[in-house]
Amino acid sequence: MRQVFMDTETTGLYPDQGDRIVEIGCVELVNRKLTGNNKHFYLNPGRDSHEEALKVHGITTEFLRDKPKFDAVAEELLDYLLGAEVVIHNAPFDLGFLNKELELLGRPGLRQFVSSITDTLAMAKEIYPGKRNGLDALCDRLGVDNSGRTLHGALLDAELLADVYINITRGQDALLMDAATPEHATGGGMPVDLRSFDLPILVASVAELTAHDAVLVEMDKSSSGKTVWRLAAP
């Protein structure tokens, strides 16, 4: 399985209003292993970055003046991404810019070249509802070292994203492995009669029940009262 973790930096927020990409970073994983076959481009956008964007990435117009434009690297980028699962944090943002750049070249959108696109922000919101799920917050939560991220950089952010993804999907892989090889759980396929075991019943303490109720209240607040248990209540 080949995955490419991608991030971009841009001159602003709105590709349809003329904002362009200034940096692209890609990190390759094959079968969940880093290969070192990464891609990194600085791009001349043909315009200045907005002040707020410059505060985020720090990539100046002067630095980008002698860098290639997107059309000069488009084929190399598409060849690199061809057939891969592309993983992006907040994918709609980056896709908006990548698809606009391709549109300006008369090319179809990125989905025509890759096998699939995974949005890790959407994944994180499902796993950690009601919590902050930006890349820095996920790094802190999962113990991923992001101490070098004083400014946003596409290649560094792609590397951090790959580490975050491995962490949040590790348990899923374990479950898939167990499901694929059920004999591991039954001692080589021999059935086990659980009636021969005296299984203890563990009852939650008052403190644990209180903490659980507090979590449910916070989740209910963050979803504006649209949690399943509220909707299903009579």
For residue 173, the model assigns a pLDDT of: 43
Give residue 184's pLDDT band: very low, low, confident or very high (50, 70, 90).
Answer: very low
**pLDDT digit string, tens, across residues 9-36:** 999 999 999 999 999 999 999 999 999 9
For 83, list phi and psi in degrees, rounded to 5.
Answer: 80, 0
pLDDT at 167 over 70: yes
- The structure's pTM equals 0.71
From the list 94, 86, 89, 90, the residue with the least C-alpha distance to 112 is 86
Write out pLDDT tens, residues 111-148: 999 999 999 999 999 999 999 999 999 999 999 988 87
Alpha-carbon torsion 4, 162, 6, 92, what sign? Answer: positive
Cβ atoms within 10 Å of 188's Cβ, excluding its own: 6
Catalytic residues: 152
- CA gap 74, 62 in Å, rounded: 22
Distance CA 122, CA 95 (A): 14
pLDDT reported for residue 64: 97
Count CB atoms within 10 A of the CB of residue 4.
Answer: 24
Residue whose token pair is 């956008």? 45
